[in-house]
């Protein structure tokens, strides 16, 4: 689910209800922090209450 909105609606906090098609649209990112662990370790944290660092290849990459 990717959301797009024009710059005026983003500035006016109306990005979820933007219906403008004749303006330049920008991608709206999700709220909150991005996940830092892979899906497998997130499930372990929820089910077994294990808090350990993930070193998997499918770990989300940090943007620099």
State residue 64's pLDDT score: 46
Residue 62 — very low, low, confident or very high, per pLDDT cuts 50/70/90? Answer: low
How far is it, in rounded angstroms, from Cα 58 to Cα 12? 37
Domain-wise residue ranges, the chain: 1-29
Residues linked to residue 26 through DSSP beta bridges, in sequence order: 5
| Tokens matching residue 15 | 């990005």
Q: Is the pTM of this model over 0.85?
A: no
Element (H, E) at 10: helix 7-11
pLDDT tens-digit readout, 2-61:
899 999 999 888 888 898 989 999 998 888 887 777 888 888 888 887 777 777 765 555
């Amino acid at each position: 689910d990717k959301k797009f909105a024009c710059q005026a609606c983003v500035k006016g906090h109306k990005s979820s209800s933007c219906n403008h098609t004749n303006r330049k649209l920008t991608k709206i990112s999700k709220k909150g922090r991005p996940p830092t662990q892979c899906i497998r370790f997130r499930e372990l944290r929820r089910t077994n209450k294990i808090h350990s660092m993930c070193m998997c290849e499918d770990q989300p990459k940090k943007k620099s």
